[in-house]
């Protein structure tokens, strides 16, 4: 477990990284009086949850109307949640007329107690970020989670988020997600279906590592619930210039500012598609690299907050880097290269001794 | 073609809220099937095997309201004894009449068009069809076009009542908790009918994984699945397999497995083992400890 999470566990109640930072500032002696009050006011703002009229959770369900069977699965997983304190905002993004009609039909077919909490908004154009920003604008919940239309939820996805949100702290909540391989399949009557190909496996890191996430995203989108204050207090938005990696961008932004509370339970399944359209086939390698670079550049161009424990982690990484550099210098040195024949001769002698001993042992038997 | 339907569920110590929510989904799915002229008269029959009845008067009123608004009849029976899964379904089936039976886990949530999809599948020689479970789909293999498969899961399967009666329903004398669905499927096949998977019929069956991605079965699940494994192999004339399993259990000091051996031997000595069938191994599939070829 990263140090940051160990440190957070020692606290009685979760506190966001931002509030923790402000607390450390306010504890300084001789802080100028003109600074204390504004800092305390900001601390107060971010320590408390913003009051909302809506439910606990707003679920943003993105769809392009390509996979009606998977979309039906996604809605059934929501209808079956043990905690029903949520709304669903289906964001139909650039569906064909047939796809949009199918999405509308499936939503309209839901039972009343669930269907009355599902809204459909249609969004045209833009990247994958645009429907998310539209969803954020429409969301009325205390927390927001994003769930794509081809993934699955266990029955306690909302319940676990709710349980940990009620501990307070306004942090991002991160549960565990399993990975399951699937591929499109044609069913009877030529119906477009799907076939699961593997048992769900727990491959993602069990705890959130802020420093590791700067290198690469290690958390699928639906593993997170984001507190409302992230969007409506800190002004975080999805970057509409990104064609992909929009999830990583906001996860980085949110986790740096508010920190992450880990939930020790698998609550969802990420379907890894083999064949058929997915974000990996809809976007070129160049797009992925460009988006990744933009996220890195944006984070590199701003000062960042890191959670408690990150200094020790960075020192260890730096020490490991230094050892690697020493090794690199050694193997590239002239003396190392000149002694190569000698090392090879020693290696061959050792190998020969092992073989002779082995042969003798066989002979003795 | 409109057919009559009874949806059957058996309770044993379940959580009432989940049963009520599932009943709403069932009534909604039945209503959709009625609108599509696939189902005419229908009823929801819930049998309770619990020591203390699960559903309160308020729960019964809510469920009755869902069913009534969907044009159905609600039947609730408290058995006052634990009849097991198959025994409970057999008892319920005797008290109702319909062309189709839907065997359903009491807390399983049906998708809106699940009943319609299953009704459309139980045709052309198919006498038994099960739906696709979410979020953990069963790994048994199936033909994607015909749906043909080794067995249909009792978590959500629709069968022709005439065939249910013809083969004698579930064998609850042999299978208390597990494999009664496998056994029923194979007897349906022996009677000359098809068993088909309908992946378009989705049903949410609330199973969970540990944080490492495993399922941890309860002590009762371990015992009854072990007992059923031996009895199923014996019944389908695979004494080679039942003997091998019993030998491995004898070598296992765990009391669970020792008990399975004792109970099996007691059945043998008192002549209560099931009569062996499928001597030519036409339907019984025993593959790597499973009762079908698994996709993974």
Angle of the B84-94 helix axis to the B180-190 helix axis, nearest 10: 60
Write out pLDDT tens, residues B263-274. 999 999 999 999
A286 pLDDT more than 70: yes
Write out pLDDT tens, residues B56-76. 999 999 999 999 999 999 999
Q: How many CA atoms lie within 13 Å of A14's alpha carbon, on the beta-carbon side?
A: 23
A279 pLDDT more than 80: no
- Phi, psi dihedral angles at A246 (to 5 degrees): -65, -30
- Residue B230 vs residues B58, B169, B172, B186: alpha-carbon distances, Å: 43, 21, 15, 16
B123 pLDDT more than 80: yes
Tokens standing for residue A41 = 């006011």
- Phi, psi dihedral angles at B287 (to 5 degrees): -125, 110
pLDDT at residue number A6: 44
- Phi, psi dihedral angles at B209 (to 5 degrees): -110, 155
Q: How many CA atoms lie within 13 Å of B252's alpha carbon, on the beta-carbon side?
A: 16
Interface contact A311, partner B, CB < 8 A: no
Residue A85 CB coordination number (10 Å):
16
More confident residue, A171 or A337: A171
pLDDT band at A7 (very low <50, low <70, confident <90, very high): very low
Which of B28, B147, B213 shows the shortest C-beta gap to A200?
A: B213
pLDDT at residue number A355: 85
Q: Where are the alpha helices (DSSP H) in A218-339?
A: 228-232, 246-258, 279-282, 285-300, 310-332, 334-338
Chain B interface residues (partner A, CB cutoff 8 A)? 18, 21, 24-25, 28, 32, 109, 111-113, 134-137, 139, 144-147, 199-200, 202, 204, 206-213, 295-296
**DSSP letter for each residue of B50-105:** SSS-S--HHHHHHHHHHHHHTT-EEEEEE-SS--HHHHHHHHHHHT---SEEEEE-
By CB neighbour count within 10 A (0-12 exposed, 13-18 middle, 19+ buried), where does B289 fall?
A: exposed
Q: Are B124 and B198 in contact (CB under 8 A)?
A: no
Write out pLDDT tens, residues A118-149. 999 999 999 999 999 999 999 999 999 999 99
Q: Are A273 and A183 in contact (CB under 8 A)?
A: yes
Tokens standing for residue B181 = 């669905």
Q: Which of residues 4-43 of A touch B (CB under 8 A)?
A: none
Adjacent-strand bridge partners of B110: B203
**Mean pLDDT of all residues in chain A?**
91
Contact A196 B32 (CB under 8 A): no
Residue A298 CB coordination number (10 Å):
15
Mean pLDDT lowest among A351-365, B143-157, B232-246: A351-365
Q: ipTM of the predicted structure? A: 0.96
- Residue B73 vs residues A63, B34, B98, B117: alpha-carbon distances, Å: 38, 14, 12, 21
B214 pLDDT more than 60: yes
Write out pLDDT tens, residues B126-176. 999 999 999 999 999 999 999 999 999 999 999 999 999 999 999 999 998
Mean pLDDT lowest among A107-111, A326-330, B138-142, B147-151: A326-330
What average pLDDT does range B12-20 have in this prediction? 95
Per-residue b or e along A92-109, where b marks 16 or more CB atoms closer than 10 Å to that residue's CB = bbebeeebbebbbebbeb
How far apart (Å, rounded) are the C-alpha atoms in residues A193 and A189?
Answer: 11
Percent of chain B with pLDDT over 90: 98
Percent of chain B with pLDDT over 70: 100
pLDDT at residue number A328: 85
**In 3-state terms, what secondary structure has residue A15?**
coil
Phi/psi region, residue B96 (left: phi>0; alpha: psi -120 to 50; beta: rest), is beta
pLDDT at residue number A12: 62
pLDDT at residue number A357: 84
Contact B206 A155 (CB under 8 A): yes
Q: Are B71 and B65 in contact (CB under 8 A)?
A: no
For strands A260-273 and B3-11, give the pairing. unpaired
A349 pLDDT more than 90: no
Write out pLDDT tens, residues A24-60. 999 999 999 999 999 999 999 999 888 899 999 999 9
The angle subtended at Cα A113 by Cα A112 and Cα A118, nearest 5°, is 80
**CB-CB neighbors (< 8 A) of B200 in chain A:** 69, 187, 191, 193
Q: How many residues does chain A have?
A: 365
By CB neighbour count within 10 A (0-12 exposed, 13-18 middle, 19+ buried), where does B37 fall?
A: exposed
Contact B28 A73 (CB under 8 A): no
Which of A79, A152, A188 shows the shortest C-beta gap to B109?
A: A79
pLDDT band at A352 (very low <50, low <70, confident <90, very high): confident
pLDDT band at A365 (very low <50, low <70, confident <90, very high): low
What average pLDDT does range B253-260 have in this prediction? 96
How far apart (Å, rounded) are the C-alpha atoms in residues B118 and B115?
Answer: 5
Mean pLDDT lowest among A193-197, A345-349, B178-182: A345-349
- Which chain B residue has the Cα nearest residue A77? B204
- Which chain B residue has the Cα nearest residue A178? B213
Q: Are A266 and A177 in contact (CB under 8 A)?
A: yes
The angle subtended at Cα A153 by Cα A150 and Cα A156, nearest 5°, is 165
Contact A111 B28 (CB under 8 A): yes
Interface contact A270, partner B, CB < 8 A: no
Which of A154, A186, A202 shows the shortest C-beta gap to B208?
A: A154
Q: Where are the alpha helices (DSSP H) in chain A?
A: 3-10, 17-26, 33-47, 68-79, 97-108, 112-115, 129-138, 157-165, 210-215, 228-232, 246-258, 279-282, 285-300, 310-332, 334-338, 340-364
Q: How many CA atoms lie within 13 Å of B228's alpha carbon, on the beta-carbon side?
A: 21
pLDDT band at A363 (very low <50, low <70, confident <90, very high): low
How far apart (Å, rounded) are the C-alpha atoms in residues A285 and A276?
Answer: 17
Q: How many residues does chain B have?
A: 296
pLDDT at residue number A276: 75
- Which chain B residue has the Cα nearest residue A115? B112
Which of A281, A312, A308, A252 minimizes the C-alpha distance to A64? A281
Per-residue b or e along A182-217, where b marks 16 or more CB atoms closer than 10 Å to that residue's CB = bebbebbeeeebbbbbebbebebbebbbbbebbeeb
How far apart (Å, rounded) are the C-alpha atoms in residues A199 and B27?
Answer: 32
A1 pLDDT more than 50: no
A266 pLDDT more than 60: yes
Sequence-ordered list of residues with C-beta below 8 angstroms from that of B270, at least 6 positions apart, any chain: none
Write out pLDDT tens, residues A171-226. 999 999 999 999 999 998 899 999 999 999 999 999 999 999 999 999 999 999 99
pLDDT band at A3 (very low <50, low <70, confident <90, very high): very low
Q: Are B133 and B194 in contact (CB under 8 A)?
A: no
- Residue B183 vs residues A342, B139, B229, B237, B277: alpha-carbon distances, Å: 72, 18, 11, 13, 11
Query: Which of B18, B25, B209 is best to mutate for the A interface (most A CBs within 10 A)?
Result: B209
Residue A23 CB coordination number (10 Å):
14
A277 pLDDT more than 80: no
**Mean pLDDT of all residues in chain B?**
97
In Å, how far is A121's CA from the nearest CA of chain B?
22
């Amino acid at each position: 477990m990263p140090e940051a999470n160990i440190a957070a566990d020692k606290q009685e109640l979760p506190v966001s990284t931002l509030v923790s930072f402000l607390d450390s500032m306010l504890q300084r002696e001789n802080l100028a009086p003109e600074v204390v009050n504004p800092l305390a006011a900001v601390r107060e703002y971010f320590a408390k949850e913003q009051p909302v009229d809506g439910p606990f959770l707003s679920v943003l369900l993105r769809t392009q109307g390509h996979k009606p069977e998977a979309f039906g699965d996604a809605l059934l997983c929501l209808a079956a949640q043990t905690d029903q304190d949520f709304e669903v905002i289906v964001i139909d993004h650039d569906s064909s007329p047939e796809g949009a009609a199918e999405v509308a039909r499936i939503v309209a077919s839901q039972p009343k107690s669930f269907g009355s909490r599902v809204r459909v908004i249609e969004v045209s154009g833009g990247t994958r970020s645009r429907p998310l920003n539209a969803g954020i604008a429409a969301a009325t919940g205390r927390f927001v989670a994003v769930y794509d239309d081809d993934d699955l939820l266990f029955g306690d996805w909302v319940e676990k988020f709710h349980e940990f949100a009620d501990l307070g702290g306004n942090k991002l909540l991160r549960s565990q997600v399993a990975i399951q391989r699937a591929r499109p399949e044609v069913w009877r009557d030529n119906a477009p279906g799907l076939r699961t190909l593997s048992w769900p496996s727990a491959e993602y890191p069990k705890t959130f590592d802020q420093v590791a996430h700067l290198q690469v995203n290690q958390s699928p989108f639906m593993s997170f619930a984001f507190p409302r204050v992230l969007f409506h207090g800190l002004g975080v938005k999805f970057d509409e210039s990104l064609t992909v990696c929009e999830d990583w961008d906001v996860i980085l932004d949110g986790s740096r500012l508010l920190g992450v509370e880990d939930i020790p339970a698998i609550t969802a399944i990420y379907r890894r598609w083999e064949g058929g359209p997915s974000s990996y086939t809809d976007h070129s390698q160049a797009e992925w690299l460009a988006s990744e670079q933009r996220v890195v550049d944006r984070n590199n161009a701003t000062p960042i907050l890191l959670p408690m424990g990150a200094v020790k982690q960075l020192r260890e990484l730096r020490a490991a880097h230094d050892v690697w550099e020493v090794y690199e210098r050694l193997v590239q040195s002239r003396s190392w290269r000149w002694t190569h024949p000698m090392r090879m001769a020693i290696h061959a002698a050792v190998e020969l001794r092992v073989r002779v001993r082995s042969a003798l042992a066989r002979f003795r038997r | 073609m409109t057919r009559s339907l009874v949806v059957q569920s058996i309770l044993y110590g379940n959580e009432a809220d989940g049963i009520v929510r599932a009943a709403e989904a069932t009534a909604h799915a039945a209503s959709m099937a009625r609108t599509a002229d696939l189902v005419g008269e229908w009823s929801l029959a819930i049998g309770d095997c619990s020591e203390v009845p699960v559903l309160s008067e308020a729960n019964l009123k809510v469920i009755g309201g869902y069913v009534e608004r969907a044009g159905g009849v609600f039947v609730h029976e408290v058995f006052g004894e634990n009849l097991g899964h198959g025994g409970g379904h057999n008892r319920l089936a005797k008290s109702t009449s319909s062309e189709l039976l839907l065997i359903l886990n009491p807390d399983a949530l049906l998708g809106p068009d699940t009943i319609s999809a299953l009704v459309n599948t139980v045709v052309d020689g198919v006498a038994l069809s099960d739906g696709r479970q979410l979020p953990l789909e069963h790994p048994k293999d199936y033909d994607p076009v015909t749906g043909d498969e080794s067995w249909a899961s009792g978590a959500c399967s629709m069968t022709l009542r005439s065939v249910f009666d013809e083969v004698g329903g579930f064998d609850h004398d042999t299978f208390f908790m597990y494999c009664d669905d496998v056994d029923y499927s194979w007897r349906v096949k022996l009677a000359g009918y098809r068993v088909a998977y309908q992946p378009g019929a989705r049903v949410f069956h609330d199973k969970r994984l540990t944080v490492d991605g495993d399922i941890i079965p309860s002590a009762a699940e371990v015992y009854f699945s072990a007992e059923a494994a031996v009895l199923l192999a014996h019944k389908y004339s695979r004494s080679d397999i039942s003997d091998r399993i019993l030998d491995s259990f004898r070598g296992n000091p765990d009391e669970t497995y020792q008990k399975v051996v004792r109970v099996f031997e007691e059945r043998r000595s008192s002549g209560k083992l099931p009569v062996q069938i499928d001597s030519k191994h036409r339907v019984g599939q025993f593959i790597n400890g499973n009762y079908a070829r698994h996709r993974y």
